[in-house]
Amino acid sequence: MSTASALKSACMTARRASRGLALALLAAPLVACGVDRTVVSSVTPDDFKERHPIELRQETFKLDLFPSASGLDSRANLQISEFAEDYRRRGGGPIRAMIPVGAGTEHSNERALDDLRRLLVRNNIRGSLTVGTYPVANPRLASPIQVSFVGLKAKVATRCGEWPSDLASGSSAQGWENRPYWNHGCAYQNMIATQVADPRDLADKRGEGPKDTDMRTRAIGNVRRGIDPGTNWTTKNSSIGAVGN
């Protein structure tokens, strides 16, 4: 190979090497930005539903009954009715009643246990009551009959009120990221989990129930007569000055 050819080949190799180095230098900042987004997002998700997810758990629902000498009173009857409704909606296993031993209330507890069985049957709960005992540590304190069952409950996995970083931090780059803070959305998720009537609604939709034949017939008849099938809601407002006169 001549000297001119060797010099030409060396120049072409140098040009290719410099071009590859320039491309590598341009790509390096982009790669660094992608790694930063991935790491930060994996530590603190932007979506509050991922930071504070609602979970369906098996929890124990409890009711403490304080019987009188004659058994359970009207207040306890209402509590048992509401407890039975929760059991039908959330439970499925046995209901457990724990009777205190050593408090000197054995006779009233027996009457209360009979009332409890009768009220459960009245609320369409049959054959699901198991009875046990527990020792009383201090007889001078009131010892209730502890009624409980295990059922499905919606609960937020994380705890609200945690602030792992300062919201107004100016000493680090974290305060300039304009990202949702950790506690954002936690109270909202807890409100949804607490108020949901059936926790299974958070996991999947309900099945379609039977059709309302009367409502459907009325709506179709109104359409055929050229009448709006919707419900006509009317409100009557009164002035504040007229109230109380």
Note if the pTM is more than 0.75.
no
181 in any annotated domain: no
203 in any annotated domain: no
108 in any annotated domain: yes
Does residue 20 register a pLDDT over 80? Answer: no
Per-residue pLDDT at 133: 92
109 in any annotated domain: yes
- Name the pairing type of β-strands 95-101 and 145-156: antiparallel
**Tokens 């059991």, located at residue:** 87
114 in any annotated domain: yes
- Name the pairing type of β-strands 129-135 and 54-65: unpaired
8-state DSSP, 240: G
225 in any annotated domain: no
Distance CA(188)–CA(124), nearest Å, equals 35
8-state DSSP, 93: S
Q: Count how many domains the chain has.
A: 1
8-state DSSP, 107: H
Exposure string of 55-71, with b = 16+ CB inside 10 Å and e = fewer, is eeeeeebebebebeeeb
Domain membership of residue 88 as a residue range: 58-152
pLDDT tens-digit series, residues 140-195: 888 899 999 999 999 998 888 888 777 776 666 766 777 788 888 899 999 999 99
Distance CA(243)–CA(245), nearest Å, equals 6
Does residue 40 register a pLDDT over 50? Answer: no
Per-residue pLDDT at 46: 81
